[in-house]
Structure 1
Amino acid sequence: MILSPFEWTIAKRYMLPGRGEAFIAMVAGISLVAVMLGVAALVIVMSVMNGFRAELLDKIVGLNGHAIVQAYGGRLDDWQDILKRVEATPGVTRASPLIEQPLLATFNGRVEAILVRGNTGSDIQRLSAKRLVGNFAELRAGSSNVAIGSRLAESLGAQIGDTITIINPQGRSTPFGTVPRQIGYRVAAIFEIGVYDYDNAYVVMPIADAQTLLLTGDTIGMIEVTTTNADTAAQTLAPIKQALAGRAQVTDWKTINASLFEALAVERVAMFVVLSIIVLVAVFNILSSLIMLVRAKTRDIAILRTMGATRKSLLKVFVTIGFIIGALGTAVGLALGLVFLYFRQSVVNGVEFLTGQPLWDPQIRFLTELPSRSDPVEITVICLMALVLSFLATLYPALTAASTDPVQVLRYE
């Protein structure tokens, strides 16, 4: 919508407060701030929700693969043949044997529940990217070296070079009963994945050492699989699932973490709907401010009509005024939201310092830091929604102004 110089002059004049119009200007300013806060809130919340889902997906899938093949009973005896079949499946990029077993670890009188994870050498090297201290190269079969999560290291009070004791309840049988198996392992590395549950429980060791600890012989617990597309992992592994029916089960990451990601999806939609109401309220503020402006300028509008101003010109003037308020609020809100997201962790730390209350507890939130991932398409939709609603809010006041009858207004002037 292009304005003529005359129309633009009138629009600028009406956007600036005149004598006795301070209240109208205040309402227009409140409308602008409301749109700004609504857009900023939507951008911040949706980006954080996207980041939360993406970070969880990256960390969970990056560590555990897109799917697992697990035998009924927990032990795969002929796992070499199954591994070859899985690797030969179209769409599979990596398949690796894995052992996971919940056990207990003790150090200096402290006892913690752990999850022993037996990995191949290549998988251990991939995990080395998460290293905080130590050397993953020391995790060799028969070395009795392990890597532990950072939170577990804090809970046990263990550091690099310390020896922790891992207790396997399924120990050796004696005339006096089963004696738990206790083996000491040296902490060679400490890692941080970024997911609290993992960092608080995982003890990683070579798969051969895990087999010795668990007395499982040459068997493994499962095979983790990575595919070309995480979203189609179930379809990719459908032939394997059918071939292993009755012997092993194939479970993709969506099934394993279904409750978590479904809850995130529901919360994401709910937050978008609730926060959109803020923008809607701001739009009603624009509507009310324009109605008051039209009422205050009724005499001026009548004079403009007698001087030759067309109904279309007046319509364009008042639509422009309301739309500019909405557009400025949207632009400033977008900028505010992006700035907040950039300094999000500093803001969280500052609020925690001022209030003395933890806002981001890793034990509850799974992740150690507030995540963020902005979706350009989603941000565009938010901005367009604010602009369209702002435009619609201008129509009624603008049509009212355009339909003003100068004869009726100026009859008694």
Structure 2
Amino acid sequence: MFKLPFETLLGFRYTRAKRRNGFISFISLSSMLGIGLGVAALITIMSIMNGFQSELRDRILGMTAHMNLSESNDRLTHWPELYEMVKSIPEVTGAAPNITEQGMLTNDQRVKGVMVRGVLPEYEQQVSDVDGKMIVGKLADLKAKEYSIILGAELALSLGVSVGDKVTLLAPQGSVSPMGIVPRIKRFTVVGMFKAGMYEYDSGLALIHLEDAKKIFKYDDEVGVLQLKLLDMFDLGRVRNAIAQKAESTLYMRDWTQQHANFFKAIEMEKRMMFIVLALIIMVAAFNIVSTMVMVVTDKQKDIAVLRTIGASPMSIQRIFIVQGLIIGIIGSLLGLAGGISLALNIDVIVPFIEQMLGVHFFPADIYYISAVPSELHWDDVWLVSGLAFVLTLLATLYPAWRASKTQPAEALRYE
């Protein structure tokens, strides 16, 4: 029959509360709860940061493509041939030409600077989910030479227009006249509105037909870029190599990680900072374990002396107190894991309940881009937090255990 080593049994026994060391047991309990709180908070916050990053990435890429191809002058000629070439690459699931320029929309006395995107509706559906985000009208309502326009919901609200109203587009590419350079002005009819769920797009993006964009922004027979949608958004290196091998001319490739590099780096940096800050909770609880174990060692001087007298080695004494400290840390970590995983998986229910109860809104969409609290639990984060808690707990037990192993039986039993 399998029996536990006596060091493990003694470690378990010292962990249990007794009358004469109830205060020590209270400190052990507080250390255990501190580690549990730190682990739960760290798992929950990292899951929220993961969800926040994933949600923003999906919303950004829902309105744009994974990769853009252009030439040296930020223009692209002969895009149909390039379209056929990239579509032959297995990793590319869709492609669409695009013209993106800055402009200004006006209605009565209301003026709004916008990003104007010229698209071909039949191609745009391959690279973006604009059609699925339409709240009025559809992308196919954009017709060539009819000068129709689709606005973000917030943009339409700020201009005070709805479907059927007219807006005026001012393009910076002016026309030369005897009076100098005059901005190009064209009246458009609003045929639809979309709501991407991201304030930046909803308040500052307008869609027009590609042929109309060519005339307004003087593109002749060129387009701005060819957008690509990939089977795997992270498989950028393979697609770059495939395009470089097949392309007959020099192309400039810019992917989503470059277009929004600073944005995602800021989120990643914030995630790391939150990890460091919340890890301090676990470190404080680990320091509590140090103080607890030192008090236990002092309280158990006689027991240690007796064990040494009957033949226990200094290494066995160390193991006893390491086991006791690890029990505190492991139980606290397990409690934290259960609490953190439960919170991370149910944050979408908990936060709305708290908001409704307090009558507040934690994440206004115009400030935080999204209005709900997302959560995405990554198991590698769970193992990382668990490993951190275990290592800190182990380190916290080393000094008290070493101090216990240095106890001299004769000194401890001198006055007994």
| TM-score of the aligned structures, taking structure 1 as reference length | 0.82
Q: State whether structure 2 residue 324 is matched by structure 1 residue 321.
A: yes
Distance 2:411 2:105 in 1: 90
Q: Cα offset for 1:329?
A: 1.6
Query: Structure 1 pair 344/333, CA: closer, same or farther in 2 (3 Å)?
Result: farther
Distance 1:3 1:275 in 2: 39
The answer as to whether partners of 1:118 and 1:204 remain within 8 angstroms in 2 is yes
Query: Structure 1 pair 289/132, CA: closer, same or farther in 2 (3 Å)?
Result: farther
Q: State whether structure 2 residue 383 is matched by structure 1 residue 384.
A: no
CA-to-aligned-CA distance 1:258-282 (integer Å, 9 cap, x gap):
3333334444444434433332332
SS at match of 1:200: helix
Distance 2:260 2:305 in 1: 66
Query: Structure 1 pair 279/3, CA: closer, same or farther in 2 (3 Å)?
Result: farther
Which residue of structure 2 aligns with residue 35 of structure 1?
A: 35
Which residue of structure 1 aligns with residue 296 of structure 2?
A: 293
Distance 2:292 2:153 in 1: 56
Aligned partner letter, 2:100: E
CA-to-aligned-CA distance 1:112-151 (integer Å, 9 cap, x gap):
1111222222455452464252231552424654432233
Q: Cα offset for 1:215?
A: 5.1
Q: State whether structure 2 residue 68 is matched by structure 1 residue 64.
A: no
Which residue of structure 2 aligns with residue 139 of structure 1?
A: 141
| TM-score of the aligned structures, taking structure 2 as reference length | 0.81
Which residue of structure 2 aligns with residue 82 of structure 1?
A: 82
Deviates more, 1:311-320 or 1:97-106: 311-320
Which residue of structure 2 aligns with residue 190 of structure 1?
A: 194
Q: Cα offset for 1:22?
A: 3.8
CA-to-aligned-CA distance 1:87-119 (integer Å, 9 cap, x gap):
345643322111212111233532211112222
Which residue of structure 2 aligns with residue 181 of structure 1?
A: 185
For 1:95-244, list aligned pairs within 5 A: 95-125=95-125, 126-128=128-130, 130-131=132-133, 133-136=135-138, 138-142=140-144, 144-170=147-173, 178=182, 180-192=184-196, 194-214=197-217, 216-234=219-237, 236-238=239-241, 240=243, 243-244=248-249
Which residue of structure 1 aligns with residue 282 of structure 2?
A: 279
The answer as to whether partners of 1:89 and 1:237 remain within 8 angstroms in 2 is no
Q: Cα offset for 1:42?
A: 2.5
For 1:387-406, list aligned pairs within 5 A: 387-401=390-404, 404-406=407-409
Aligned partner letter, 2:190: R
Q: Cα offset for 1:30?
A: 2.6
SS at match of 2:63: helix
Aligned partner letter, 2:295: M
Distance 1:50 1:162 in 2: 41
Query: Structure 1 pair 9/90, CA: closer, same or farther in 2 (3 Å)?
Result: closer
The answer as to whether partners of 2:347 and 2:374 remain within 8 angstroms in 1 is no
Distance 1:168 1:299 in 2: 88
Deviates more, 1:250-259 or 1:336-345: 336-345
The answer as to whether partners of 2:156 and 2:193 remain within 8 angstroms in 1 is no
What residue ranges of structure 1 are gaps of 5+ in the alignment? none
Which residue of structure 1 aligns with residue 51 of structure 2?
A: 51
Deviates more, 1:341-350 or 1:48-57: 341-350
The answer as to whether partners of 1:69 and 1:222 remain within 8 angstroms in 2 is yes
Deviates more, 1:99-108 or 1:341-350: 341-350
The answer as to whether partners of 2:137 and 2:191 remain within 8 angstroms in 1 is no
Query: Structure 1 pair 359/327, CA: closer, same or farther in 2 (3 Å)?
Result: same
Which residue of structure 1 aligns with residue 23 of structure 2?
A: 23
Distance 1:299 1:72 in 2: 82
Aligned partner letter, 1:135: G
Q: Cα offset for 1:284?
A: 2.0
CA-to-aligned-CA distance 1:287-337 (integer Å, 9 cap, x gap):
210110121122344456667877776555433321121112212222332
What residue ranges of structure 2 are gaps of 5+ in the alignment? none
Query: Structure 1 pair 231/129, CA: closer, same or farther in 2 (3 Å)?
Result: same
SS at match of 1:127: coil
The answer as to whether partners of 1:107 and 1:156 remain within 8 angstroms in 2 is yes
The answer as to whether partners of 2:117 and 2:206 remain within 8 angstroms in 1 is yes
Distance 2:284 2:68 in 1: 48
Q: Cα offset for 1:372?
A: 2.9
Aligned partner letter, 2:137: N
Q: Cα offset for 1:380?
A: 0.8
SS at match of 2:49: helix
